[in-house]
C-alpha cells in the first residue's frame, strides 16, 4: 500500500511543481498585490475623508474662537484709549497683551492645521494616482496570469489523469489523509522514518509511535504532522 502512495506522491510532485511555478510567478504576485491595494482603497479613502472632515471642523471652531478673541482685544484697546485712571489703564493694557498672546497662539495652531489639511489633500491626490496605477497593473498582469495558467492547463490535466489512475491502488482512508495535508500546502506528505526519527523534522519518535509502526503502515509525526512509514 505504501509503495502505491509513494508512486502517487512522485507523480504528484510534478503537479506541485506546476502549481508552484504559477503561484510563484511575477504574473500572480503582481495581480495579487494590485488586487490587495484596490480592495483596500475605499477604506483608505474613507479614512482620509474622515480626517479632512475632522480637521475642517476643528479649523472652523478655531476660526470662531480667533474672531471672538480679536473682537475682545479690539474692545479692550478702545477702552484703554478712553480710560483716565492710570491703574485701570495699566490693568487693561496687561489684559490686552495677554489676550493678544493667546490670539497669536490660536493663529499658529490655525496655520499648523492648514498645513495638515494640505497634507490630507496631497494624500488624496496620491491615492488617486496609485489607484489608477493599480488598476492598470491589475488589468495587465491579470491577463498575463490567466495566459500563464492556460498555458499549463494541458500539462496539469495530463498529470491529474495519471494521479487519478494511481489513486485507484491506494487505500481510500490513507488517500484522504494524504490529500488533506496536501491541501494544507504540505509537500512531500509522506516520509520514511530515519532510524527512530521523523524523516522530515528529525524529531525523535516516542516509544509508543515506534511500537505503532510495527503494526501500522503509516503514523503521523507529532511535531510536523507529516505522514511517516517504515
Ligand atoms: Zn516530523
| pLDDT, average across residues 92-114 | 90
Whether a cis peptide bond, with omega within 30° of 0, leads into 188 is yes
Q: Is residue 4 part of a domain?
A: no
Q: C-alpha grid cell for residue 181?
A: 495535508
Ligand 1: distance of its center to the CA of 61 in Å?
65
Do residue 110 and residue 204 come from a single domain?
no
Residue in this structure with the C-alpha cell 503502515, named with its chain if needed: 217
192 alpha carbon to ligand 1 midpoint, in Å? 10
Cα 4 to averaged position of ligand 1 atoms, centre (Å) = 22
- Residues 72, 181: one domain? no
- Does any domain span residue 110? yes
Q: Give the per-residue pLDDT at 78.
A: 86
List helix spans (H) across the chain.
Answer: 2-23, 26-81, 86-167, 172-183, 207-215
Evaluate whether residue 186 is within a structural domain: yes
pLDDT, greater one: 82 or 113 = 113
Q: What's the mean pLDDT in 167-194?
A: 96
CATH code, domain with 142: 1.10.287
The pLDDT tens digits for 15-34 are 999 999 999 999 999 999 99
Category of 198 on φ-ψ map: left (φ > 0), alpha (ψ -120 to 50) or beta: beta
Which residues have beta carbons under 5 A from ligand 1 (an ion)? Answer: 198, 200-201, 221, 223-224
Specify the pLDDT at position 33. Answer: 97
Q: Specify whether 68 is located in the same domain as 103.
A: yes
184 and 220 assigned to the same domain: yes
Over range 73-84, report the average pLDDT: 84
Structural domain for 219, as ranges: 171-230
Domain count of the fold of the chain: 2
State the pTM of this model: 0.70
Q: How far is the CA of 17 from the centre of ligand 1 (A)?
A: 22
Would you place residue 147 in the very low, low, confident or very high pLDDT band (cuts 50, 70, 90)? very high
Amino acid at each position: 500500500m505504501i509503495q502505491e502512495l509513494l508512486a502517487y506522491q512522485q507523480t504528484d510532485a510534478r503537479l506541485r511543481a506546476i502549481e508552484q511555478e504559477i503561484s510563484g510567478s511575477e504574473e500572480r504576485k503582481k495581480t495579487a498585490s494590485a488586487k490587495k491595494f484596490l480592495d483596500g482603497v475605499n477604506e483608505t479613502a474613507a479614512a482620509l475623508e474622515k480626517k479632512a472632515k475632522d480637521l475642517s471642523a476643528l479649523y472652523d471652531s478655531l476660526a470662531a474662537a480667533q474672531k471672538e478673541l480679536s473682537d475682545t482685544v479690539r474692545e479692550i484697546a478702545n477702552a484703554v484709549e478712553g480710560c483716565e485712571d492710570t491703574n485701570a489703564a495699566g490693568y487693561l493694557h496687561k489684559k490686552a497683551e495677554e489676550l493678544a498672546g493667546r490670539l497669536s497662539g490660536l493663529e499658529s495652531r490655525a496655520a499648523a492645521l492648514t498645513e495638515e489639511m494640505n497634507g490630507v489633500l496631497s494624500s488624496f491626490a496620491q491615492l488617486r494616482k496609485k489607484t489608477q496605477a493599480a488598476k492598470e497593473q491589475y488589468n495587465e498582469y491579470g491577463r498575463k496570469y490567466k495566459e500563464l495558467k492556460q498555458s499549463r492547463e494541458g500539462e496539469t490535466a495530463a498529470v491529474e489523469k495519471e494521479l487519478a489512475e494511481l489513486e485507484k491502488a491506494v487505500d481510500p482512508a490513507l488517500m484522504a489523509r494524504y490529500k488533506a495535508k496536501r491541501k494544507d500546502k504540505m509537500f512531500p506528505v509522506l516520509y520514511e522514518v530515519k532510524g527512530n526519527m521523523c524523516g522530515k523534522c528529525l524529531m525523535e519518535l516516542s516509544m509508543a509511535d515506534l511500537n505503532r509502526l510495527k503494526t501500522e503502515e503509516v503514523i503521523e509525526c507529532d511535531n510536523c504532522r507529516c505522514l511517516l512509514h517504515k
